[in-house]
Amino acid sequence: MNAVFLISAGLSVMTTLLAITRTNPVHGLLFMVLSLLSMAGVFFSLGAPFAAALEVIIYAGAIMVLFLFVVMMLSLDKSSEKRERSWMSGKIWLVPVALACVLATEFGYVVMHTGPSSEPAHVIDAQMVGASMLTTYLPAVELASMLLMAALFAAYHLGRVTEPVARNKGAP
């Protein structure tokens, strides 16, 4: 299990870096999908198969497909790639790298003081996830559901037809 964890964790770090640095948006998205898949591997090796499956189905399988859909609709070409490359050079790296350094220090501190736990403590299955969702984390679930409801209304509002669409007027 340790090997699975190490491989998928290393993969996820690597693919995330690649996802940030690619200039072609579709390539970046694909590396992000790979990063999510390796994150699923990390979850699986830590004893949370349900979370791993949801990571694959929802993030990699649905949300990233929507991202890809939008990117495909934009029809980006070589010029946009060039513009992207010009954005990704020089001082623009400064702030993200600094923030990443802060995160890395914090992460190192946590690792030093708690020590690595390679073996999964116990496997968390779907039933336990569901039970804790509706007991311990009920307020959070309710808040998230309200947020999703608001998003639903917003989508309905954006998607409604304001003017009657002219039908059967013949092809132009």
> Minimum distance from CB of 65 to other proteins (Å)?
5
Query: 3-state SS of the chain?
Result: CHHHHHHHHHHHHHHHHHHHHCCCHHHHHHHHHHHHHHHHHHHHHCCCHHHHHHHHHHHHHHHHHHHHHHHHHHCCCHHHHHHHHHHCCHHHHHHHHHHHHHHHHHHHHHHHHHCCCCCCCCCCCHHHHHHHHHCCCHHHHHHHHHHHHHHHHHHHHHHCCCCCCCCCCCCC
Residue ranges binding other proteins (CB under 8 A): 26-27, 30, 33, 49-50, 52-54, 56-57, 60-62, 65-66, 68-69, 72-73, 123, 125-126
> Minimum distance from CB of 20 to other proteins (Å)?
19
Closer residue to other proteins in complex, CB, 57/110: 57
> Minimum distance from CB of 157 to other proteins (Å)?
17
Closer residue to other proteins in complex, CB, 63/110: 63
Closer residue to other proteins in complex, CB, 65/104: 65
Closer residue to other proteins in complex, CB, 5/40: 40
